[in-house]
Structures are given as C-alpha cells and as structure tokens.
C-alpha cells in the first residue's frame, strides 16, 4: 500500500474489503462447514490463500500490481480465511475429549502466538532487505506449510448429520438463532458487534499510523507486533491456570475491559513521540494477553454448549458479529479520518471498544440454569 501511495480513505476501503468478506460470507461458511469435511475445507482454504498471495509478488515484479488487484486479493483471501477459521473452531471437538477443549484451545492459541512473534520480526527485516512483495511470497509459502500440517492429522473426523432447516434462509440464520437463545452467548455476540465495529478504526490505520505518524520503521513495527505475540504466548500459558481460579463470568468482562483500556496506548503514543514505541509495545503485550484469555474461554464455551451439528453455523455467527463488523468500522473510519484526522478517529475507536465491555456486566450476577451448567466444566467454576 505504501508502494502504491494509498491515502487514508483508500486504506480504509482496502481494510473494509478484506473484512467485508466475513460480513457477507460468514453465515454461508457455517452451512458449508456443517455439511462438509472440516479438515478438507481447511486444507483447501490454505492452498487458495497461498495462490492468492503468490500473485502479488509476481505482479509486482512485472510492474503490473495495482490497488484493484490488492482489493480482489483482500476480498478472496478474507473469504478463505473465514472458511478456515470457522472450520478449525468446529473441527477441534472431534479431535479431543470435552474435558480437554480448554487445553486444546490454549495450545492452539500458543501456536498462533508463536507465529505472531516470529512473523512480524522476520517480516520487518525482510521488507527492509527484500521489499514487501517478496516478503508476501514467503507469507504465501507459510500457507503451504499449514496445509501440509492439517493434512498430516490422521484422527478420523466423525460425520454428523447436519441440522437442516426448512428453508435456505433459516439454515443460514440457524447459528444466530442458537446464539440469541443462549444468555451468555448472546451477551458475547452483542459485545463483539460493538467492540469490533469500533476496532475497525484501529484495524484500518494501524500500519499507516505507526509508520507515517509515529515514524516507525518496518523493523520497529514488526517488533511492536511481536510484543503482541509475546502477550498471546503468556495468555496461552496462563489461560488454564486462570480458568481454574477465576470463574468465566468474571474473566470475560475483566478481559474485555483490559482489551479496551490498553487500546488507548496506541493513539496516546502520538502525544509522546520519544516513548511511542514503548507505548505501542505495552498496548500489544497486555492487550493480546487479555485477548487470548478471552478468546480461549469464548471458543471453549461455544464448543462445550453447542450441538456439534450446529457448531459451524454458531462459530460463523460469532465471526459475523466480530470480524464482520470490522468492515463497516474500517470503511466509516476512512471517511471520518479524512475530516478529523487519524488520531482523533483512533480515539473514537478506543472509546467504543472500552464501552462495549458494559454488555458483559450482567454476567457477574448471572445464575446458570440446568441446561447451561455444562458450560462450567471446561471454563472453571471457582469464584
């Protein structure tokens, strides 16, 4: 994007396109996942993303790369990403016992966090040494590695007859209907809608703001993002221990509040240029630590209380309510930033994320009913 000289509005549009695929495709992805082989879908999504990313350096080397092509790549890669994410979140319960779901999600978060540490650090150096298109080529190759890793899984995947609704629209909306019928899942969904809507502002300008406003080099930005990976690793390490000691009805709002508060360090960095890198590293470290705790518990809750035949559509509904909202927020943020500047727009995003925690406050006084008691099994019952 920097090579092509993108403006804030164009950055917002590109970020919106990538996330819009979640908004438009996620519910259909849930139906596909519930009807097909989740393992096969994951492999196909990885191979598709690898092919899409490989087209970027090829066109760049032939001087044919354009913003239009990047937009298409962002849209298609977004569709494949949501398909992969919905599939893997639905695939885990077929690999481990119910009592081991929290541990499984914790270990998955650790693997992702390790990549978040190594990836940004190496990417910053590679972009500096080899240029961005070549660095993207290496990113594409990582998807081939991912596909091979999933292919190596030999655990037999049980084939569950999906819950088929009376009409196509009912089948698409089955996940949302299930979530809205469960008190805890409903609150998590409503918080996600608001939090990720405002997260769109930060998502749209993160790289542009860090490099153009804060003056970060690609290496410095990679280091800051790697601090987020370190926070995620710590979150993955301690997720199980914290779940044993803190009831999920307290850990959800507490984690969400920390996520919201730490986002403030990002726009605050522009007021303290000498401390900008430190502030962004703090935002990444503590924000990703809290996010990992939240994410592990949320995934485990869904996998514990939802019928496996509907799990794909429920996971898709949560993707729709979270990452899908980023597209709307990012698009709006692009136009808002053009009027009031990126920093002010980022502060609006921070405020919205923090306020979204209010949706989770009813959890503190929530009394589990019989059909929802199962959710406590893997999320900790202390407190």
For residue 267, give both structure tokens: 């726009």
Q: Angle between the 311-321 and 323-340 helix axes, to the nearest 10 degrees?
A: 10
Residues 194-206 have pLDDT tens digits of: 999 999 889 888 8
Name every residue whose Cβ is closer than 8 Å to that of residue 26 and which is 6 or more positions away in sequence.
82, 86, 316, 317, 319, 320, 323, 324
What's the domain count of the chain? Answer: 1
What pLDDT score was predicted for residue 327?
79
Residues of the chain with pLDDT > 70: what percent?
81
* Cβ neighbours for 126, distance < 8 A, ≥ 6 positions apart: 134, 135, 138
| Range with lowest mean pLDDT among 55-69, 98-112, 165-179, 350-364 | 55-69
> Given a cut of 70, is residue 174 above it in pLDDT?
yes
The pLDDT assigned to 143 comes to 86
User: Is 381 contained in some domain?
Assistant: no
The pLDDT value given to residue 33: 92
The answer to whether residue 97 sits within a structural domain is yes
- Residue among 6, 62, 12, 98 at smallest CA distance from 326: 12
Q: How far apart are CA 192 and CA 321, in angstroms?
A: 6
Specify the residue for token string 């961005």.
132
14 CB contacts (<8 Å, ≥6 apart)? 1, 6, 67, 70, 71, 74
Considering the domain boundaries, does residue 2 fall inside one? no
* pLDDT value at 74 more than 70: yes
The pLDDT assigned to 229 comes to 85
Q: Is residue 161 in some structural domain? A: no
Domain membership of residue 219 (yes or no) is yes
Going by pLDDT thresholds of 50, 70 and 90, the confidence category of residue 265 is very high
pLDDT digits (tens, 9 = 90+) for 319-333: 888 888 887 888 888
Report whether pLDDT(16) > 80: no
For residue 38, pLDDT over 50 is answered with yes
Summarised one tens digit per residue, pLDDT across range 342-382 is: 999 999 999 999 999 999 999 998 876 544 544 333 444 33
- pLDDT > 70? residue 53: yes
Q: Is the pLDDT of residue 317 over 70?
A: yes
DSSP per position, 315-378: HHHHHHHTHHHHHHHHHHHHHHHHHH-HHHHHHHHHHHHHHGGGGGGGGGG----GGGGGGGTT
| Range scoring the smallest mean pLDDT among 65-69, 79-83, 234-238, 335-339 | 65-69
Q: Is residue 39 part of a domain?
A: yes
Model pTM score:
0.81
Across the chain, what does the average pLDDT equal?
Answer: 82
Q: Tell me if 337 sits within 8 A of 8, measured CB to CB.
A: yes
Burial 196-218 (b: 16+ CB within 10 A, else e): bbbbbbbbbbbbbbbeebbebeb
Task: Give the CATH number for residue 341.
Answer: 1.20.1250.20
Residue 37's domain spans which residues?
8-151+169-376
Q: Would 67 be classed as within a structural domain?
A: yes
């Amino acid at each position: 994007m920097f090579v092509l000289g993108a403006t804030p509005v164009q950055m917002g549009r590109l970020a919106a396109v990538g996330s819009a695929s979640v908004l438009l495709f996620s519910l259909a992805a849930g139906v596909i996942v519930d009807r097909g082989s989740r393992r096969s879908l994951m492999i196909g999504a990885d191979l598709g993303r690898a092919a899409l990313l490989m087209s970027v350096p090829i066109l760049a080397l032939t001087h044919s790369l354009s913003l239009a092509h990047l937009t298409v790549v962002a849209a298609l890669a977004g569709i494949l990403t949501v398909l992969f994410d919905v599939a893997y979140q639905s695939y885990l319960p077929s690999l481990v016992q119910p009592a081991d779901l929290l541990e499984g999600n914790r270990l998955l978060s650790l693997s992702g966090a390790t990549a978040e540490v190594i990836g940004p650090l190496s990417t910053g150096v590679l972009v500096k040494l080899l240029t961005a298109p070549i660095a993207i080529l290496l990113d594409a190759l990582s998807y081939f590695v991912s596909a091979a890793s999933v292919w190596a899984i030999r655990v037999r995947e049980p084939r569950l007859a999906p819950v088929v609704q009376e009409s196509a629209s009912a089948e698409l909306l089955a996940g949302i209907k299930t979530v809205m019928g469960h008190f805890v899942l409903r609150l998590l969904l409503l918080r996600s809608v608001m939090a990720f809507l405002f997260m769109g502002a930060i998502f749209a300008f993160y790289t542009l703001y860090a490099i153009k406003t804060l003056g970060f080099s690609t290496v410095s930005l990679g280091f800051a993002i790697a601090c987020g990976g370190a926070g995620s690793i710590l979150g993955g390490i301690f997720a199980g221990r914290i779940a044993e000691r803190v009831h999920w009805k307290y850990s959800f709002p507490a984690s969400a509040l920390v996520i919201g508060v730490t986002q403030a360090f990002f726009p605050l960095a522009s007021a303290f240029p000498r401390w900008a890198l430190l502030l962004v590293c703090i935002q990444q470290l503590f924000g990703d630590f809290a996010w990992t705790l939240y994410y592990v518990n949320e995934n485990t809750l869904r996998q514990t209380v939802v019928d496996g035949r509907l799990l794909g559509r429920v996971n898709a509904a949560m993707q729709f309510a979270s990452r899908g909202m980023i597209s709307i927020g990012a698009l709006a943020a692009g136009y808002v930033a053009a009027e009031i500047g990126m920093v002010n727009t980022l502060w609006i995003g921070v405020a919205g994320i923090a306020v979204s925690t209010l949706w989770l406050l009813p959890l503190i006084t929530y009394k589990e009913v019989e059909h929802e008691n199962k959710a406590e099994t893997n999320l900790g019952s202390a407190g």
